[in-house]
Amino acid sequence: MTVSRENSKAVYQGIKDAGVRSISALPETWLVYLLQLAGNDPEMHLIEVAKEEEAIGIAAGAYFAGEKHLLLMQNHGFLAAINGIVSLAQLYKIPLCMLIALRGHWGEPYPWHTRGGIVTEEVLRALQIPFEYARDPAKVGKQIREAYTLAHSALWPVALLLTRDLMED
Amino acid sequence: MQRAKCIEAIYPELHDKLVVTNMGACAQELYNLGHRDNFFYLQHAMGLASSIGLGLAQSLPQVKVVVLDGDGSVLMNLGALATMARYKPANLIHIIFDNGSLLSTGGFPSHTAEGVTDLAVIARGAGVPHVDSVSTPYDFMEAAADAFERNALSVIVAKVEAVGPDHYGMHFQLPENAFLFKRWIAEHVRKASESPSSMQGEIKAL
């Protein structure tokens, strides 16, 4: 299985169509093409972090500044960012539009991803973070726009889970 | 040297800058000098004040962003120094008040106590181009004035006593601070994309 270049383009186009101007991210295999597209786009501000919790702070700064921002991370990075999500974003009512690569789920061949994959949805529910699954490249753009819209009307984190169906060929 | 005196010394310079503090004593000491809506106090999520500053500085390149931080918070997010150094926003000044203590959460000694860990060396090693380490009020003022003046990412590690304010409390709820901070930026700072080139990112009015 390989990462889908075509579907990554569809996701990136969805990000652009949502009006997003800056992205904070930590590289992960499924996000490789997305990060390349962002890095090569002169209109996009890409900030690569050392650990995902930093991205919650960066997203808050961008939000305060009025810049349309989106976070790209793997689900294990989401797990690593939880205190920032709770004690910055939720505490201060700061929207987060998070695109999360759902590793360790249906079809996952690598054992090291599976613990995180199994608990991700329950952790999202526990944190009261609305989430949807992105499986279809024809629909992902609309899903990104809607995730962004909900995050900013609710002033709350919202997650779109990037699934294997979408991210692998 | 006392942190409250350091903050008091730079307070007049903060009226036109975006200021983000870490939790507890540092936030309260700035607040006690007189709240302004361009101040944001991060009362939890230790370590993320610098990341908020980076997000602000990258989004609004022509406005000075000042982060008032502490050793305990910085130790929780050391990677942020490397991320700041990677992008080197010229408008970001990160002041770390190092009292060698987790003062606001029980007063336990931090890793910087008795000089075990040197945050200035870590900042230099992370790649921050301008790092000052100061322990007297005069040196602090000089380092702060230089940092505010130059257009380059700057870190100041200020050695201070482990003392804090005698009371805590602010007149607003936490989300209100965020709402007012965001509104101040919207009303006072022109975004680069919304203004002619000669006016990029400047403060509109005070």
For residue B79, the chain A residues in CB contact (below 8 A) are: 49-51, 54
- B87 shares contact with chain A (CB less than 8 Å): yes
CA B158, chain centre distance (Å): 12
User: For each of chain B's 206 residues, which pLDDT tens digit applies?
Assistant: 999 999 999 999 999 999 999 999 999 999 999 999 999 999 999 999 999 999 999 999 999 999 999 999 999 999 999 999 999 999 999 999 999 998 877 889 999 998 899 999 999 999 999 999 999 999 999 999 999 999 999 999 999 999 999 999 999 999 999 999 999 999 999 765 554 444 445 555 44
Please state, in angstroms and rounded to a whole number, the distance separating the CA atoms of residues B76 and A53. 11
Q: Which residue has the tokens 């310079």?
A: B13
What was the pLDDT predicted at B115?
86
**Cβ–Cβ under 8 Å, residues B79 and A49:** yes
Say whether residue B174 is in contact with chain A using an 8 A CB cutoff: yes
ipTM of the complex: 0.97
Nearest to A61 by CA among B18, B170, B196: B18
CA distance B102 to B109: 6
pLDDT, tens digit (0-9, with 9 covering 90-100), for A11-45: 999 999 999 999 999 999 999 999 999 999 999 99
Residue from B59, B63, B189 to probe the interface with A (highest A Cβ count within 10 Å) = B59
Q: Is B44 on the interface with A (CB under 8 A)?
A: yes
Q: Where does the pLDDT of residue A133 fall: very low under 50, low under 70, confident under 90, or very high at 90 and above?
A: very high
Closest CA to A141 of A2, A5, A18, A6: A18
| Cα angle, residue B14 at apex, residues B120 and B126 outer, rounded to 5° | 20
Structure tokens at B169: 């409390």
Contact A24 B87 (CB under 8 A): no
B7's enclosing H/E stretch is helix B3-10
Residue A44 DSSP SS3 = coil
**pLDDT single digits (tens) A135-154:** 999 999 999 999 999 999 99
Q: Is the pLDDT reported for residue A126 higher than 70? A: yes
- Residue A101 host element (H or E): strand A96-101
Inform me whether the pLDDT recorded for A57 exceeds 80.
yes
Share above pLDDT 90 across residues of chain A, in percent, rounded to a whole number: 99
Cβ atoms of A127 and A157 within 8 Å: the answer is: yes
Tell me the chain A residues in contact with residue B75 when contact means C-beta distances shorter than 8 Å.
Answer: none
CB atoms within 10 A of CB B73: 27
Answer whether A64 sits within 8 Å of B185, measured CB to CB.
yes
Question: Which of A145, A168, A167 lies closest to A158, judged by CA?
Answer: A145
B39, containing H or E segment: strand B39-41
Q: A67 vs B191: CB contact, 8 Å cut-off?
A: yes
Q: Among A92, A91, A87, A44, which Cα is nearest to A64's?
A: A92
Contacts of A84 in chain B (CB under 8 A): 45, 48
Query: Does the pLDDT at position A10 exceed 60?
Result: yes
pLDDT of residue B198: 43
pLDDT confidence of residue A165: 97
CB A78 within 8 A of CB B35: no
Distance CA A168, CA A7 (A): 8
Q: Could you tell me if A150 and A87 are in contact, meaning their C-beta atoms sit under 8 angstroms apart?
A: no
* Contacts of residue A57, Cβ cutoff 8 Å, sequence gap at least 6: A84, A88, B45, B48, B49, B50, B51, B52, B54, B55, B80
- Count Cβ–Cβ pairs < 8 Å, chain A vs chain B: 121
- Provide the pLDDT for residue B103: 84
Nearest-5° angle of CA A91, CA A64, CA A53? 55
Best mutation target, B18, B64, B83, to test chain A (most A CBs within 10 A): B83
